[in-house]
Each structure stands twice: as structure tokens, then as C-alpha cells.
Amino acid sequence: MILRAFTEAAGPMKLSELSNRVGIAASQLHPYMVSFRNTGLVEQVEGTQYALGPFALELGLARLRNQDAYMETIRRVPELAEETGLMVAIAVWGQHGTTIVYVHDSPRRIHSYVKPGNIFELGITATGRLFAAFLPTEATEDRITAEFAAHNNHDVHSFGITEEWFRARVREIREMGYEITADIPIPGVSAVAAPVYDHTGALQLSVTVIGPSRLTDLNRDGPVVTSLLEFTRNLSSDLGYGGGNQRHIS
């Protein structure tokens, strides 16, 4: 119950907030928090607030390793990274949205914030918009609305991304089958993201190629997009996806 409250929270919580969520007095919660901190399930941040710790991420990744789509993607990703010469990241849809779960680094070092556990916003990242396009609407709608309703969301507003543009772009992504970003959200860094489906046509994860903008050809017929789409199509096919039945429209 206590750990589930952390997965459902929007961010770190004070002990009093956690107490209200789970209906347990703060004095009774404290011994649990000490135990969770000792095991790495929870960590104390910003002084008096608590959040899920590094071991919680390890547990989540351990569960993913037992899933065919994740394991097969991990096995093949080095080939894609070698072929493109760029960083490759795998993301899944988690409790807090688009979550990076694996990164294969590139020999071409780039200034990037991409690491396992990072949450990518839907509005400004290729990976986030891909999930908005190919997941059922009910899975993403609340988070989309919240992103654009937050007037203090510096990223979305500073890049001039409106909700109207975003929703139109999502429709385009469904037609294209992939998404790109150039110099957003990090100047000098570009990305291409594509989906991996299972035998039912459900989106299992995304594969994103990330690199310096000057070395990342974003043209559909260019080597980066071509290699990524071939990679994800072959992977989806081997997972039993026959094409044409993606379950992204609700």
C-alpha cells in the first residue's frame, strides 16, 4: 500500500502527505520509511520529502527482463547503434508517463539527459509524442491535458508548442509511423522514435535513436530513419505483429 502510493503520486511527498494517502499515522509510517530507505526502495529528497529509490527502479527493470519484447529489443539494440553510430534508448509507458528503461551509448558523446528512469514529456520529445500517438487515448489524455494546462510548464511553452499543434502532430505521427525532433528539447541534439508492437497490435515499447543534429539525418529516406524503421518493423514482426491492426485509436 505504501509503495503503491509512491507510484501513483506526481512527485516526492512529505511524510504527512503520504500519511493522508495511505491512512496511516505519520508516527507509524516512520519505521517503514527507515526500512525502505535502508533497502533503497525509497530515498529522501529535498530535505523532508520521500520518493521511490534506485532499488525500486531495479525491481521494475527486473520485471521487464522477463518480457519477450524488452529482452529481444535489448539483444538487438547494439546492432542498431553500430549501424547508425548513434545512441539508442528504449522507453515504455509507466505510471508517470514515458519512461526510459535502457540506453545504449554511442561512441559519439553527446550532451544528453537520457538515462534509465528519466520521464520524457509528451509535448516536446519524439518519444513522448510517439506514445501519445500509438497508445489508447484513455491512457494518455489526462497527462496531455495536465501538461498543457500547467502554465508553469516552461518546456512546452518556451518552445512554442500549443495543444492544437500537438494534437495535429499526433495525427501526422499515426500516418508516418514514427516521430522526430530537431534541437528540442536540447539544442544540438536530434532524435527519431519508432514503435514496437506485439502480436495483438498493442504498443509494447519505443526505440529512439539520438545523436548530434549535424550527424542525425531526419529525412525519411535517410540512413537513420531507414535503419530505425527497418529495425522496429522486423522486431515487431518477430514478436508476432502482422501489420495493420495497431490498437491506438480508442
- Residue 86 — φ and ψ, nearest 5°? -125, 165
Q: Which fold has domain 2-53?
A: Arc Repressor Mutant, subunit A (1.10.10)
pLDDT at 229: 97
Q: How far apart are CA 243 and CA 199, in angstroms?
A: 9
Please report, for the chain, the start and end positions of each structural domain, with discontinuous segments joined by +: 2-53, 65-238
pLDDT at 102: 92
pLDDT tier at 20, thresholds 50, 70, 90: confident
pLDDT at 61: 64
Q: For residues 57-73, b (16+ Cβ closer than 10 Å) or e, as one string?
A: beebeeebeeeebbeeb
Q: Is the pLDDT reported for residue 214 higher than 80?
A: yes
Q: Is the pLDDT reported for residue 24 higher than 90?
A: no
All cell numbers assigned to 41: 526502495
Percent above pLDDT 90 for the chain: 42
Q: How far apart are CA 26 and CA 18, in angstroms?
A: 8
Q: Which of 39-48, 73-82, 154-163 has the lowest mean pLDDT?
A: 154-163
- More reliable by pLDDT, 199 or 177: 177
| 196 neighbors 204 (Cβ within 8 angstroms) | yes
pLDDT at 250: 40
All cell numbers assigned to 179: 516521430
pLDDT at 64: 52
pLDDT at 168: 96
Q: Which residues, listed in sequence order, are joined to residue 209 by a DSSP beta bridge?
A: 88, 192
pLDDT at 18: 82
Q: For 225-234, what is each residue's pLDDT tens digit?
A: 999 999 999 9
Q: How far apart are CA 173 and CA 175, in angstroms?
A: 5
| 3.30.450.40, 3.40.50.300, 4.10.80.400, 3.40.50.970: CATH of 65-238 | 3.30.450.40
Q: Is the pLDDT reported for residue 23 higher than 60?
A: yes
pTM recorded for the entire structure: 0.71
Q: How far apart are CA 190 and CA 216, in angstroms?
A: 7
Q: For 89-140, what is each residue's pLDDT tens digit?
A: 999 998 788 999 999 987 666 666 788 888 888 999 999 999 999 999 999 9
Q: For 43-57, what is each residue's pLDDT tens digit?
A: 888 777 878 787 777
> What mean pLDDT is predicted for residues 26-36?
81
